[in-house]
Structure formats: structure tokens, C-alpha cells
A = this chain, B = another copy of it.
Amino acid sequence: MDDIDLKIIGLLALDAKRSLADIGGSVGLSPSSVNERIRRLTASGAIRQFTVDLDPAAMGVQTLVFVWIALREDADEAAFRDYAARHPLILECHHVTGAWAYLVKLRVGAPPEIEGFLAELKAHRYLGRSETVIALSSPVPGPFVPKES
């Protein structure tokens, strides 16, 4: 993982459809060398996957929501993590330091849908307390990659 690898990764992050010849011209290598490096980066797991960054609005999920969660004392934590991993709306779920146990990031079409999500969590007996935060605007939105349905 040298400077050239980092440069290649930077170029791919901006546009993964650039040709090997094009990338090679930018980093000073032949297309086949670039190909070999990308192959290695992918095989080693540094590049997890080639994907697409989508516009949330076009996908009908304009509303970005963060939910801080404290699990019920009798909740099955492993089951909750598995549930989060499978839930199509949950884009991220992190076990965090501080007053709350988990931070969940999700996207919905509109705020009223959040209620259903929380009800679902409650029905599964995961939810102790929670606090919901809605993004009003996003100076740095970050990429949006939907989860497999």
C-alpha cells in the first residue's frame, strides 16, 4: 500500500468507471500494472466492493434520521445487532461510548415513518429508551448506498 495505491484509490472513489489506461496516465503506470494493483487491493480487502452512490431524494428517502438507543435490560443484544444488520432502513448501527448504547442511522421517506420504525423496535422488545434526531440539512451528506432488499 504505497502512494500510488492511495492515488488509484482516490481516483476510483471519485469515478470507479475510469478506464485502466486513463488511471495509468494519471499515476504514471501502464494499464496492466494498474489492473494488477486494483486486483491486489480488491483481493486483500482494502477495496470492499465497487458500488454506486445514489441520490436519496430520487430513491424516495429524503429524511435522514439518527436514533440513540438504550436497549432494554433483558434484550438479547446479539439478536438486536442481527436485526439491525438485516433491516433495510438501517444504514448504519454503531455501539458507542457515552450515555447511549447504540447509534442507528436510517433513511425514511418522511418523518411520520419514524414512528413505525420505533414501534417495530419496541415490539421486538429491544427498545428501552431512545432519542430521535432528524437532519434538517446536510452540508456534507456522505454517500448513500442502499442495502440489499
Residues of A within 8 A of B (CB): 1, 9-10, 12-17, 44-55, 58-59, 64, 66, 80-82, 84-85, 90-98, 103, 105, 131, 133-146, 148-149
Contacts and interface: CB of A to CB of B under 8 A. Distances in A.
A146 B94 CA distance: 19
Number of copies: 2
A109 to B, nearest CB: 14
A29 to B, nearest CB: 18
Contacts of A53: 47-51, 145
Contacts of A55: 45-48
A139 B54 contact: no
- Between A66, A84, A103, A140, the greatest number of chain B beta carbons within 10 A of the residue's beta carbon is seen for A140
Contact of A94 (B64, B98, B149): B64
B141 A143 contact: no
Given A14-B49, A51-B52, A92-B141, 14 more contacts: A10-B148, A15-B51, A16-B16, A16-B49, A46-B58, A48-B53, A50-B50, A50-B53, A51-B143, A93-B140, A94-B136, A96-B134, A142-B145, A143-B143
